[in-house]
Amino acid sequence: MEEETAAGSEQRNESQRVLELAFDMGLNLNSKRTRDTSSLAVYADKLEDDEQLRMEKSAQISTVNDKDWEGIFVYGHPNYKRRKELWNELTYVYDNLHVPRAFIGDFNDVIAQHEKVGLHPKSTSQIDTFRCFVDKNALMGLELQGTKYTWFSNPRNGFVTKERIYRVLANWEWRRAFQHATLSALPAISSDHTPLVLNVKPRGIRRRCFKF
C-alpha cells in the first residue's frame, strides 16, 4: 500500500511539473482535450481522478491571422526508461505530420554530445534514442539565442555540469507557418534552469510571446 501511495504521489508530481510548464503560457492558449490526455491548467481539478497521469499535455493554440497550431508541452522524466517510453508514445499519438506542431519544454535529453559539458559524457544510447524520436517525427530545433545551455548543476569537485535540455522542436508545417519565430533565453535568477521565450511573430505588428 505504501508503494502504491508513493507511486501515485510521484505521478502527480510529474503531471504537476508539466502543468506548471504550460501554466506560464496559459493566458495565450485555447486548450482542448486530445485523445485520452488531460490538457492544460483548465483541467487541473480533474487530474487527481485520472488513473494514469502523463508527462505531456497538449493545447490547440490560435494566433491572430495565422493558422492554428498544436503545442505539446513536454517534461522528460529523469529516469531514462520513462523518457524512452514517452518518446515512443508521443511518436504514436502525434503521427500526423500535416498538422503544424511544436514540442516545447524540458526534455531532459540532448541531441548531441556537444550539448552537455560535465565530468561524465551523456550516454550514446540515450542520445540515439532521443535523436530517433526527433527524426521519426520530422522535427527541427529552433536556434536558441542568448545562451548555449539551459540547465546548470551545483558545483561538484569544482566543476559545473551544463546541458541544453530545454528546447522547442517543430515540424515543417509549423516552421513554414512561423518562418521568423525566435527562441531566446532570459537570465537565470535564483534558479539552475534558464527560462526561454518563444516569439512566433517577432517582425509583425502583433507580438505573441510564450515563456517557459
The pLDDT of residue 204 is 56
The range of the structural domain enclosing residue 116 comes to 2-211
150-187 per-position pLDDT tens digit: 999 888 778 899 999 999 999 999 999 999 899 999 98
Count of domains forming the chain:
1
Q: ∠ CA 21-165-78 to the nearest 5 degrees?
A: 80
The pTM for the full model equals: 0.72
Amino acid at 154: N
Whole-angstrom Cα distance, residue 131 to residue 128? 5
The C-alpha atoms of residue 61 and residue 104 are separated, in whole angstroms, by 13
Note the pLDDT of residue 28: 35
Find the mean pLDDT for residues 45-64.
50
Start-to-end CA span in the chain (Å): 36
Contact 21, 75 (CB under 8 A): yes
Does the structure show a pLDDT above 70 at 34? no
Separation CA 39–CA 174 (nearest Å): 20
CATH number of the domain at 108, please: 3.60.10
- In the β-sheet with 116-117, what is the strand arrangement from edge to edge? 116-117, 162-163, 151-152
As a whole number, mean pLDDT of residues 91-108 equals: 89
For residue range 58-90, what is the model confidence (pLDDT) as tens digits?
777 766 566 789 999 999 999 999 999 999 999
Nearest to 107 by CA among 174, 56, 53: 56
